[in-house]
Chains A and B, each alone.
Chain A
Amino acid sequence: MTLVMVLGAALMLVGFWGLITRQNMIKMVLSLAIAETGLQLIMIAVGYINGGTAPILDSAVDKLSAVQQVVDPVPQALVLTAIVIGVAVNALMLAFIIRLYQKKHSLNISDYKDMKW
C-alpha cells in the first residue's frame, strides 16, 4: 500500500497548493477538503496489514486467531471521526463565506483586506 501513501501525500500537496494559489474562497475550502482526503488515505494506509481482512469478527474470521488476520482498527476509528468533523467544519467555513459575500458581493480573497497586516 505504498502507492496509497504516495497518493495521500500527493493529494495533500495538491490541496495545499490550491489553498495557497487560488483566489476564490469556495475553491480554497474545496482544496482544503482535498488535502483532508489525502490525510485520511495516509492514516488508513498506516493501519493496513498486507493480506488483512476488515476488523469485523463474523464467521469468516476465527475469534481466537483474529489478531493474526485483521487490520488495525484504531486508525479506522480515528478517520471515521475525522470525516464527520471535516464536513461539519467545511459547512461552517462555507457559512462564513456566504456571510462575507452578502457584505461585499465578492468571492475573491484579495478583496477582503480588513484583517491584512
Chain B
Amino acid sequence: MENILTALLSLIILIAALAAIYLRNMISAILAAGLVSLFASILYLLMAAPDVAMTEAAIGAGLSTVIFLLAFRKTRDEEVENG
C-alpha cells in the first residue's frame, strides 16, 4: 500500500517538475513547482519526518510560490514569454 502511494507520488512529482520547466505560461509553471513541493511534503510524512513535512508545506509550497508569483508580477509589461 505504502509502496503504491510512494510510486504514485513520485510519478506526480516528476511530471509536475517537467511541467514546471517546459510550460510556456509562467503562472502555470510556478504553480507546477508549488505542486512539486506540496507532494514532496507528503513524501516526507511517509518517511516519518513530520517536522520537515510541515516546513515544506508552509514555506516551500506556500510562501515560496507566492514570492515567485510576486516577482513575476513585477517583471511584466506586455512582453512575450521566452520559455
Residues of B within 8 A of A84 (CB): 55, 59
A112 proximity list for chain B (CB < 8 A): none
B35-83: which have CB < 8 Å to A?
36-37, 40, 43-44, 47-52, 55-56, 59-60, 63-64, 67-68, 71-72, 74-75, 77, 79, 81-83
Kindly state the interface size class of chain A when it binds its partner: 35 or more
A84 vs chain B, min Cβ distance (A): 6
Tell me, yes or no, whether A98 is within 8 Å of chain B by CB.
yes
> What's the least CB distance linking B11 to chain A, in Å?
9
A94 touches B21 (CB 8 A): no
Besides A53-B48, A56-B50, A97-B75, 18 more A-B contacts (Cβ < 8 Å) are A3-B10, A4-B10, A10-B14, A11-B14, A14-B14, A14-B17, A18-B20, A22-B21, A24-B82, A24-B83, A26-B26, A34-B21, A40-B52, A87-B60, A101-B75, A105-B77, A105-B79, A107-B79
Closest 5 CB pairs of A and B: A94-B71, A18-B21, A101-B75, A7-B10, A54-B48
Name B residues whose Cβ lies closer than 8 Å to a Cβ of A: 3, 6-7, 10, 13-14, 17-18, 20-21, 26, 29-30, 33, 36-37, 40, 43-44, 47-52, 55-56, 59-60, 63-64, 67-68, 71-72, 74-75, 77, 79, 81-83
- Name 12 A/B residue pairs within 8 A (Cβ), A-sorted: A4-B6, A31-B20, A47-B49, A48-B48, A76-B52, A83-B52, A83-B60, A87-B63, A87-B64, A87-B67, A90-B67, A101-B74
